[in-house]
Structure 1
Amino acid sequence: MALRHASEADAARQRNGAPAAKVGLGIALVLLASLCLAATPTLARLAYAHGSDAATVSLARFLVSGVGFVAIMLLRGERVPGDRRLLVGGIVIGACYVVQTLAYLSSVQYVSVPVAVLVFFTFPVIAALIVRVSDGVPLTRAKWAAVIVAFSGVAVATGASPQIPDGRGLSLAFLAAVGTAAYIVYGGAIGRRSGPIVINALSLSVAAIIMTAHAVFVSAPALPHGIVGWVGLAASGLLFLAGILAFFTGLLLLDTLRATLLANSEPFFAIAIAFAILGEGLTLAQGMGALLVVVGVMLPQIAARRPVSLRSRKT
């Protein structure tokens, strides 16, 4: 989730100016981002258990992160360009944000957090398939292997569940993965033109407006009762903002491939947090499925990194 709108050109250019001693800080920031984002579905479950719902948690997330990114954009002296394509793109991405977030946060109402996380984190390989269909870009052997391995992992993890997972939860998690993949494919070019801060400020503001309109005209927010519910609601929004900011800050100090590989720790963090707070864990067979999912997602990134390593050895 943190890899949305990551610009390889910008990251490489900014990384070249960063002292080598700061690489460790970059690694720590990307891992911190993964930890923050990994906690959000479990925090949402806490809010649900105390009377809230997915729409309310989504509203809190978008209000907090939208205001946060707009403030950062203004502090940096950046403005939204008067580019119609950018404005339309921001609206479309904001709408995709709403669909993706509602689907993902709703999925954990029907299936355990670990199962929802594993289905959701197939989005990188789904993005490769979307590019294959929409742009006619052929998939490399590494990407075909990624698709097969990742979805085999999902099949193993869900098939090995002690109880058959609720189809609604699996469908919602998969919808969230498809939405995220489409968001990455469509939003990548827009993010490279405007920069990650501007496009995030715009799209998250659009998402906040959509969810505010939903709360006013469709269904009033389901506010949680009790301090635990409020902590889950507030922390879900704050950690989402902190995670995105930590990732983009870390990206200034690392190359995109290294940041991508490190960000793949997010599913492991999410599963560990769900086990620690909710007591939701994985069986051994499900753990093997989870490992297959992560390996599948990492295969293209490892293959892309290999030539860089070979060139650096020659020099």
Structure 2
Amino acid sequence: MAGEGTATLWAGRTAALISALWLGCTTTLAWLVYDAGGAPMTLVVLRFIFAIAFFAVMLRFSSGGLRLPRQDFGRLLVVGLAISGMTLGYMSSVAYIPVSLAALIFFTFPLMIAALTPWIDRMPLGPMQVFVFALAFTGLAMTLGPDLAKLDWRGVAWALFAAVSITCLLFQSRELMTRHDPYLVLMIANLVGLVVCGSWLLTAGQVQLPSGTLGFTAFVLVGICYILGVTFQFLAVRKAGPADSALFMNLEPVVSVVLAIVVIGESLSWQQLGGIFLVFAALVLSSLSRRRMSRSVQA
């Protein structure tokens, strides 16, 4: 039984890493879309549409049904609203504060999950796990290098709202993904997100598509990366739980920084290199800690 639990944990961690890789690509691709004249909220709404279509097709070929028990409607609504809050909060924050600062505030969500896990899951986090979360956040701060001089309370509030939303998303989605067809959960959750963000877009009236081959290609790739990233993200939560998934998802902004260097030509400082090293060190320490705990249980 212990061996099966370890295999499941590592499957979840691997899914979290894959999710981080795909979602990490969206930041640079989104920059290419905006540079070609596309608007952020237009990209978000069409990303939801792509996801709904994909998950509907996958659901058609899966063994799951289209019906959910009535008692799960509320939880599913919360998941959909959390996806909307995460997207709206993150996109709105960058209108007031630098992207790096918004990303740093957003990635306080692993620390939120670490703090809430003992209360929600009744699984206390040891000193090593707390240290690992703090180490990963320090590495992100060094990698992103935010400009605190451009602090605006509105941007900070939106970014914190996004962080709280994804924290809620990871906790609420685990049970749904375990009990129901994951594609059904993802399809309905993204449908709720489409309704919320689509209403926002229609109210703002800022529908702007990118122009040119590069902008359109990046636009399509953002949708593909989002679909794959969210799918593996939910799979990670299902297999490894919110805490482990959140920790390994810290790799996402690191991927964004590295890809920006390759695609856009941004430079990488020694401070950022040190930050990337700390993030990877946190992941290694977490893996070693879990392996040690698994061996003690088997003994």
Q: TM-score range by the shorter chain?
A: 0.7 to 0.9
In structure 2, which of residues 115, 125, 134 is the aligned counterpart of residue 129 of structure 1? 115
Equivalence for 2:56: 70
User: Which structure 2 residues correspond to residues 155-304 of structure 1 after superposition, within 5 A?
Assistant: 155-157=141-143, 163-164=147-148, 166-167=150-151, 172-245=158-231, 256=240, 265-296=251-282, 299-304=285-290
Are the structure 2 counterparts of residues 150 and 191 from structure 1 closer, same or farther at C-alpha, using a change threshold of 3 Å? Answer: same
> TM-score, structure 1 length as denominator?
0.73
Unaligned runs of 5+ in 2: none
1:241 to 1:165, Cα distance in 2 relative to 1, 3 A: farther
Structure 1 residue 113, shift from structure 2 partner: 6.0
Match of 1:88 among 71, 74, 77: 74
8 Å CA contact retained: 2:64, 2:181 = no
- SS class of match (1:48): helix
What's the offset of the Cα at 1:39? 0.6
Moved more, 121-130 or 270-279: 121-130
Residues in 2 aligned to 1:219 and 1:238: alpha-carbon distance in whole angstroms: 25
What fraction of aligned residue pairs are identical, expressed as a percent? 25
The letter for the 1-side match of 2:187 is: A
State which of 32, 37, 49 in structure 2 corresponds to 1:51.
37
Contact 1:118–1:290 under 8 Å retained in 2: no
- Aligned CA distance change for structure 1 residues 123 and 298 (closer, same or farther; 3 Å): farther
Please point out which of 153, 157, 174 is paired with 2:139. 153
User: Are the equivalent residues in 2 in contact too, given 1:104–1:120 (CA < 8 A)?
Assistant: yes
Other structure's SS at 1:223 match? coil
Q: Give the whole-Å Cα distance in 1 for the aligned partners of 2:143 and 2:230.
A: 28
Q: 1:66 to 1:299 in 2, by over 3 A?
A: farther
Task: Tell me the amino acid that sits aligned with residue 151 of structure 2.
Answer: G
What SS does the aligned partner of 1:189 have?
helix
| CA distance in structure 2 between the partners assigned to 1:81 and 1:69 by the alignment | 15
Q: Does 1:98 align with 2:84?
A: yes
- For 1:127, what is the secondary structure of its paired residue? helix
Q: Which one-letter code corresponds to 2:278 in the other structure?
A: L
Does structure 2 retain, via aligned residues, the 8 Å contact 1:122–1:297?
A: no
In structure 2, what is the Cα distance between the partners aligned to 1:264 and 1:151?
Answer: 8
Q: Deviations over 1:4-60 (max 9, x none)?
A: xxxxx9xx59x79xxxxxx99x96x87654432211111111112222222111112
Q: 1:218 to 1:156 in 2, by over 3 A?
A: closer
Residue type of the alignment partner of 1:287 = L
Aligned-pair CA distance for 1:101 = 2.0
Partner of 1:6: none
> Residues 297, 171 of structure 1: CA spacing in aligned structure 2 closer, same or farther, 3 A cutoff?
farther
Count of residue pairs brought into register by the alignment: 289
CA deviation string 1:258-306 (max 9, x = no partner): x958766444322211111223344212332343345446644542232
Q: What's the CA shift for 1:74?
A: 2.0
In the TM superposition, residue 65 of structure 1 has moved relative to its aligned partner by 0.9
